[in-house]
């Protein structure tokens, strides 16, 4: 399987990535092995599974566009609201 995943960082920003081993990749983020999330306390808030790698790549690329981020923020509006309320 191939996965697109979204992490919520302590700065209330979203990190979008993809992997073929979700458990390993999330553990790497948690242990500080990924430079862009190292000091930002990443929390997994969404993942999608794909049987075909190209579908996964296409979804990741879409979510990284302006329109994709808008869709994602709408989809996760309650999660993001709850997170911002608990940080404030």
**pLDDT tens column, 20-58:** 999 999 999 988 888 888 777 899 999 999 999 999 999
Please tell me which residue, 85 or 14, carries the higher pLDDT value. Answer: 14
The pTM of the full predicted model, rounded to 2 decimals, is 0.88
List CB contacts of 38: < 8 A, sequence separation 6 or more: 32
Does the pLDDT at position 82 exceed 80? Answer: no
Q: How high is the pLDDT of residue 84?
A: 67
Neighbours of 32 (CB within 10 A): 12
Domains, the chain, in order of start with CATH, read 2-79 (3.40.1440.10)
Q: Which residue has the higher pLDDT, 84 or 44?
A: 44
C-alpha separations of 46 from 16, 71, 88 in Å: 10, 13, 22
């Amino acid at each position: 399987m191939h996965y697109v995943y979204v992490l919520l960082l302590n700065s209330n920003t979203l990190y979008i990535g993809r992997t073929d081993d979700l458990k390993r990749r999330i553990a790497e983020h948690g242990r500080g092995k990924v430079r862009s999330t190292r000091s930002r306390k990443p929390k997994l808030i969404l993942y999608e599974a794909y049987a075909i790698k190209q579908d996964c790549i296409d979804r990741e690329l879409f979510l990284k566009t302006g329109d994709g981020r808008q869709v994602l923020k709408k989809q996760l509006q309650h999660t993001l609201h709850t997170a911002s309320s608990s940080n404030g």
